Amino acid sequence: MYCIITKRNIYLSSITIFVIAIIAVSCLVFASSSSSWGLSFSSANTPPTGNATPEELLKYNAYFIDTKNEKNIYLTFDVGYEAGYTESILDTLKKHNIKAGFFIVGNYFNSNPDTVKRMFDEGHIIGNHTETHPDMSKMSTFEDFKKQIEPVEEKYKKITGQDMKKYYRPPQGIYNIQNLKDASSCGYKTIFWSLAYVDWQKDNQPSHEKALSTILNRVHNGCILLLHSTSKTNMEILDELLTTLENDGYTFKTLDELGN
């Protein structure tokens, strides 16, 4: 068996190799380029559009909303440090019998083990918010990714005596496709959000009226609500917020029920 090499064959082969190379490079760029999670709201109390669809994220075991279109809310808090408000937040959640998700950074386990234990004892889910809160899209290898994840698991187990539930939130919502794959490879669900507001600026806290108005105008079916435990405003409005949402017919679900 033999083939005749012609200029046309060489040309076609070169084109094929070039196309394959372009596709390969495009895939690598898609996997490694970073995005910052963002939302666009079109009208009041309707689900927003994210910079990825629920279906796209689901390929990587990631979520930003519950798509069942039921009047459910998944309440989550990001916890980077203790500003003096978390215990009060826990008191309010206990009053309403609501179980939230707390995504905690590594140093918080060191400085506030009693509060972490209280969260656990009262039935809240504690998620992984990385060891040092870096830009996770810059983790160049799977081993680098795990170095931000595994220390948090170890600290959680030391405090609670249990293995950590596998929920992960990338710091500042910065991620790339490889991060999502790495998290899934570690057994994690990546949890973004479908509603948040600017509540993290310690010296520029929003008024109660602005915070309540923003949240209540944007809340929607299947909402994953992100609040920061470092916000004085959040602590002060939480009881009223939860009461209003309950009176409006919303049910608070846990992350364990997301996607089921």
Active-site residues: which are they?
78, 228
Whole-number Cα distances in Å, 236 to 18, 206, 215, 245: 60, 11, 14, 16
The token pair that represents 162 in the structure block: 């249990």
Whole-number Å distance between alpha carbons of 203 and 13: 63
The token pair that represents 190 in the structure block: 């990546």
The tokens 């293995």 sit on which residue? 163
Backbone angles phi, psi at 78, to 5 degrees: -95, 135
Long-range contacts of 185-189 (CB under 8 A, 24+ apart): 185/142, 186/145, 186/146, 186/149, 188/61, 188/128, 188/149, 189/61, 189/62, 189/63, 189/255, 189/258, 189/259
Number of neighbouring beta carbons within 10 Å of residue 201: 11
Whole-number Å distance between alpha carbons of 244 and 201: 25
Whole-number Å distance between alpha carbons of 225 and 232: 17
